[in-house]
């Protein structure tokens, strides 16, 4: 029987900054409706594929919970099977947390967003409402618009005259883009957090330009009835040496004020050897720089997104984080924010002059179970029911003709919709999740179950066609939360409700009382 951890014990660990990972096993949409502040969503459907990177130390305390769906005992067994030794269940689950009178938060990346609101509250970060920003842009006022989101988000929709400068790049590149100190800089994102953090990063670093966040981001722009651009490609330029030197000095001063510590490769080696603490190592440069050469053991996690999505990268609250950047400012600025969010964070000085790896980052998988496989050509001529375990956005983007969408954790319920007159072939984007689920489907149905070699990617690589849309769904697509700030077709009521939620986060942090944030 799995041990129990009480909600009060979880809160105590957060307050004392002891290591603990509180893991919500539900899919993303129900998680986004209510969860404790520092809970991390790792669905049972993908647990084995995500846990090794998100909880890299096998002895780290892990507390599992659901909302009465019966997921925790299955998850505890899976974690034990891959070597985790300190796994417990949250006593009473989510309802136990609620009955204890503790706060529940909504949306995703909640504590990063709450921290952003606290920053604005404490520092009164300057901002411009959308109509005022639009008037300045249209009057050819001397200004630049710097979009702090990922490049793919920028390409989906952007503010007129916008340029993609993801958050960690701002301090490094702002002076190159706006060398005249009288040029106004407007920083925007889709909602609020990255606009606030981006603008305040420039202010903290002493950039001499007038700096403003676009109030409420592209949501505010759309709610004001203003048109967005689509498909733009403007990206930040290279930086000349004089501006690199200036940015390095300014960023290091900010990290010093935030209490960030620095270490060299020898000291890092000592931290790696310490098996009593969880250690995360992140390379905060651009993905392209990472692929061209990175320090072994460091995961690609561009700094702006790391600050925005800390919970998706580091599941163990109370762990150590080390950031690497061959130039410096991106690590220093990112570390300054993580330190203010209560993390024990270090910046690595050096390390790029040794042997570097040149590849893209790939997730760590456990040893996958044996499964009976079938190749693309064989499957195409066989009379089988195809079950696809991809996420619903992946399935919508392209799936094998006739494949059924199923959420792995709900295979048993999906049998009510799946045809049961044939044997099955399981697929997933790369085939790994299919192998993990094959034995379960065989046990549930009594049918033979094959796994498609190489998954759906292998099918597509042969030039065979894929079908788009949610055509055959045996599970509800609640594995993904529909973000009101992404995409181009969100309802105005949903966008306004999201902003109203963000406005209330500072008060909710105060009621919760566990965060330990500070603002320099």
Strands 320-324 and 62-65: unpaired
Q: Residues with Cβ < 8 Å from 421, sequence gap 6 or more? A: none
Are 72 and 24 in contact by the 8 Å Cβ rule? The answer is no
Which listed CATH number (3.40.250.10, 3.40.190.10, 1.10.10.10, 1.10.1200.30) goes with 115-238? 3.40.250.10
**CA–CA gap between residue 155 and residue 235 (Å, rounded):** 10
Collapsing DSSP to helix, strand or coil, 438 comes out as: helix
When pLDDT is cut at 50, 70 and 90, the band that residue 284 belongs to is very high
Q: Residues with Cβ < 8 Å from 28, sequence gap 6 or more? A: 41, 43, 108, 478, 479, 480, 481
Instruction: Give residue-wise pLDDT tens across range 140-162.
Output: 889 999 999 999 999 999 999 99
**CA–CA gap between residue 117 and residue 311 (Å, rounded):** 17
- At residue 466, the pLDDT reads 97
Lowest mean pLDDT among 45-49, 91-95, 312-316, 354-358: 354-358
Instruction: Give residue-wise pLDDT tens across range 51-97.
Output: 999 999 999 999 999 999 999 999 999 999 999 999 999 999 999 99
How long a stretch of residues is the chain? 520
CATH of domain 3-108: 3.40.250.10
- Residue 102, pLDDT > 80, answer yes
- At residue 506, the pLDDT reads 97
pTM of the model: 0.95
Share above pLDDT 70 across residues of the chain, in percent, rounded to a whole number: 99
E strand map for 35-126: 40-41, 62-65, 87-90
CATH 3.40.250.10 fits 373-461, yes or no: yes
Say how far residue 42 (Cα) sits from the centre of its chain.
11
Query: Which element (helix H / strand E) includes 320?
Result: strand 320-324
The domain limits of the chain are 3-108, 115-238, 249-348, 373-461
**CA–CA gap between residue 475 and residue 410 (Å, rounded):** 7
* Protein fold of 249-348: Oxidized Rhodanese; domain 1 (3.40.250)
Share above pLDDT 90 across residues of the chain, in percent, rounded to a whole number: 94
Are 202 and 252 in contact by the 8 Å Cβ rule? The answer is no
**How much is the mean pLDDT over the chain?**
96
**CA–CA gap between residue 283 and residue 94 (Å, rounded):** 34
What are residue 357's DSSP bridge partners?
294
Q: State the alpha helices, DSSP H only, in 208-286.
A: 217-223, 241-257, 265-273
Q: State the alpha helices, DSSP H only, in 34-109.
A: 47-54, 72-81, 93-99
- Residue 198, pLDDT > 80, answer yes
For the four alpha carbons of 315, 408, 150 and 244, in that order, the dihedral sign comes to positive
Say how far residue 59 (Cα) sits from the centre of its chain.
24
Strands of 211-214's sheet, edge to edge?
127-128, 211-214, 184-188, 143-147, 162-164
Angle at 88 between CA 82 and CA 94, to 5 degrees: 120
Collapsing DSSP to helix, strand or coil, 251 comes out as: helix
Are 185 and 210 in contact by the 8 Å Cβ rule? The answer is yes
**CA–CA gap between residue 150 and residue 153 (Å, rounded):** 5
Domains 3-108 and 115-238 share a fold: yes
Are 323 and 334 in contact by the 8 Å Cβ rule? The answer is yes
Phi, psi of 16, deg, nearest 5: -90, 0
């Amino acid at each position: 029987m799995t041990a129990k951890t009480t909600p009060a014990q979880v809160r105590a660990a957060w307050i004392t900054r002891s290591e603990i990972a509180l893991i919500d096993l539900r899919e993303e949409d129900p998680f986004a409706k209510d969860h404790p502040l520092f809970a991390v969503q790792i669905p049972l459907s993908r647990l084995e594929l995500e846990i090794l990177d998100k909880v890299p130390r096998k002895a780290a305390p892990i507390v599992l919970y659901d909302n009465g769906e019966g997921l925790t005992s299955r998850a505890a067994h899976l974690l034990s099977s891959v070597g985790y030794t300190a796994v417990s269940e949250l006593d009473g689950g989510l309802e136990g947390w609620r009955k204890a009178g503790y706060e529940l938060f909504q949306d995703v990346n909640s504590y990063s967003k709450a921290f952003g609101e606290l920053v604005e509250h404490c520092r009164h970060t300057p901002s411009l409402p959308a109509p005022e920003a639009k008037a300045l842009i249209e009057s050819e006022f001397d200004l630049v618009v710097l979009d702090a989101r990922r490049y793919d988000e920028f390409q989906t929709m952007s503010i007129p005259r916008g340029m993609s400068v993801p958050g960690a790049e701002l301090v490094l590149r702002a002076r190159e883009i706006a060398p005249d100190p009288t040029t106004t800089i407007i920083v925007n994102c889709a909602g609020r957090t990255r606009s606030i953090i981006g603008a305040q990063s420039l202010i903290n670093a002493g950039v001499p330009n007038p700096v403003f966040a676009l109030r409420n981001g592209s949501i505010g722009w759309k709610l004001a009835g203003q048109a967005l651009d689509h498909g733009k490609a403007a990206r930040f330029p290279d930086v000349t040496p004089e501006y690199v030197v200036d940015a390095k000095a300014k960023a290091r001063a900010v990290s010093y004020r935030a209490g960030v510590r620095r270490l060299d490769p020898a000291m890092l080696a000592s931290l790696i050897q310490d098996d009593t603490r969880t250690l995360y190592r992140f390379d905060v440069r651009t993905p392209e720089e990472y692929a061209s050469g990175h320090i072994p053991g460091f995961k690609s996690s561009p700094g702006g997104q790391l600050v925005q999505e800390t919970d998706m990268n580091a599941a163990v609250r109370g762990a150590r984080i080390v950031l690497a950047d061959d130039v410096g400012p991106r690590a220093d600025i990112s570390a300054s924010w993580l330190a203010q969010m209560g993390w024990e964070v270090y910046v690595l000085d050096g390390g790029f002059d040794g042997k570097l790896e040149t590849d893209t980052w790939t997730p760590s998988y456990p040893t996958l179970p044996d499964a009976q496989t079938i190749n693309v050509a064989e499957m195409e001529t066989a009379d089988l029911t195809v079950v696809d375990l991809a996420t619903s956005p992946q399935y919508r983007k392209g799936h094998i003709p006739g494949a059924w969408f199923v959420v792995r954790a709900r295979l048993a319920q999906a049998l009510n919709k799946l045809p049961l007159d044939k044997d099955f072939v399981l697929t997933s984007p790369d085939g790994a999740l299919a192998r993990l689920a094959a034995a379960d489907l065989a046990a549930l149905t009594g049918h033979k179950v094959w796994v498609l070699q190489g998954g759906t990617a292998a099918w597509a690589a042969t030039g065979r066609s894929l079908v788009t849309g949610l055509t055959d769904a045996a599970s509800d697509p609640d594995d993904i939360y529909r973000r009101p700030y992404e995409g181009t077709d969100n309802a105005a009521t949903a966008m306004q409700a999201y902003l109203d939620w963000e406005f209330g986060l500072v008060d909710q942090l105060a009621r919760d009382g566990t965060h330990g944030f500070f603002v320099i």
